[in-house]
Amino acid sequence: MTDVGRARLLYGSALALGVVLLFFIYGKHFNDLSESRLVLLSFVWFFPVVFGVYGLVGQATVKRREAPPAPASTEGPEKAATAAVVGGAVGAIIIRVIFRRMPPIISLGLLLVLGLFMLPLFLIKKGSALRIATVGTAMWIPLLVAFLVFVFPSL
Amino acid sequence: MSTHSILETAQAPQSQAGISSTALGVGLVVVALYAIGASVAVHQALTYSAHFDLKREALTELNGQPALEVEVTLKALPTSLWGDKSPKLGINSVSGPPYVWNDLTWEQLELPEPAAGATYQIRAPITGELAERLRLDGAVKWSLSWGEARLRQHPLSK
């Protein structure tokens, strides 16, 4: 197994564990558990999921970083411009749909979560995927606590 | 394996997207230990919560206004009172946000002292904005909680 394959196995295992726990708690036993217990148990499934997702996304980011630069081509700038326009348009449509479908507080919350999720990927320019996964998971510990203590009770 | 490919393998720089065999081993052990710990935590949470046995639930009318009727047996006293210090019935609106809810204590419901094995017939009027929501939604949610113990239901309609 290659080193990349080994890492994928680790991140995939963590993600699978988190997803199984998530479905077991909220899918199978949602009505059997108190609200306070459900809140506490969010720590159980959340971190394997976050670690797995950051690991896999971090791998893709690192692989793109390590990929040899594309050969010079006259189509390069046009392709990049087209990709930026298409990406921007798709992003704008997604944001528009989110804001039309959901109350503003939830829409803003989703965008905030998305922005926070991207933070480690932007900030860690030279680190490995494992570092991205570790830093990303560590970053979400205080964020999850803050959400459950300050935001969740008011929803 | 040819000499060329051996040299190629030896000289190939390890990708930062990957990890070593040792790191994988340590990581999988951590994942396995985490899975055991999580299973214990969930099992413990479920053990705490299996305290109520629902006999009957219905939306009726009491003196011309909607009311919730619940018959429940308290199978065991909760071992931990992290949360509500005495039993509490919560009635919530189905729609929201903003959600409307009404919490009623055991005393407000005029029920006898909670005891293991006892069955209670609870009748709770639904008033004010919650009654208006019930009229619009056609259903409410209710839950009975005491410390860690919790009986929670899907929307209940007339």
| Nearest residue of chain A to residue B27 (CA atoms) | A10
SS (H, E, C) A63-129: HHHHCCCCCCCCCHHHHHHHHHHHHHHHHHHHHHHHHHHCCHHHHHHHHHHHHHHHHHHHHCCCCCH
CB contact under 8 A, B17 and A17: no
Residue B21 forms contact with A (CB below 8 Å): yes
Q: Is the pLDDT of residue B106 over 80?
A: yes
Average pLDDT over residues B129-134: 93
Residues with Cβ within 8 Å of B141's Cβ and at least 6 positions away in sequence, in order, are: B91, B92, B93, B94, B152, B153, B154, B155, B156
DSSP string, B4-26: HHHHHHHHSPPPTT---HHHHHH
Picking from A1, A3, A26, A108 by the largest number of B CB atoms within 10 A of its own CB, the best residue to mutate is A3
State whether residue B34 sits within 8 Å of chain A by CB. Answer: yes
Residue of B19, B35, B153 with shortest CB distance to A6: B19
Residue-wise burial string across B96-115, b where 16 or more C-beta atoms lie within 10 A, e elsewhere: eeeebbbebebeebebeeee
pLDDT in tens, B25-69: 999 999 999 999 999 988 887 776 667 888 899 999 888 889 999
Best residue in B19, B44, B52, B143 for a mutation probing chain A (most A CBs within 10 Å): B19
Across the interface, whether the CB atoms of B150 and A9 are under 8 A apart is answered: no
State the pLDDT at residue A93.
79
Quote the minimal CA–CA distance from A58 to chain B in Å.
7
pLDDT at B8: 45
Asked if B105 and B97 touch (Cβ cutoff 8 Å), the reply is no
Confidence (pLDDT) at A83:
77
Chain B residues close to A66, C-beta within 8 Å: 15-17
* Predicted model pTM: 0.62
pLDDT in tens, chain A (155 residues): 888 888 999 999 999 999 999 999 988 888 777 667 788 889 899 999 999 999 999 888 888 877 776 665 555 566 767 777 888 788 777 777 766 777 777 777 777 888 888 888 877 777 888 889 999 999 999 998 888 888 776 66
B111-128 per-position pLDDT tens digit = 988 888 899 999 999 999
**Cβ contact, residue pair A41, B150, below 8 Å:** no
What pLDDT does B28 receive?
Answer: 93
- Which chain B residues are within 8 Å of A127, Cβ to Cβ? 16
Over range B79-85, report the average pLDDT: 65
Confidence of residue B9 (pLDDT cuts 50, 70, 90): very low
Could you give the angle at the alpha carbon of B39 between the alpha carbons of B34 and B44, nearest 5°?
Answer: 130
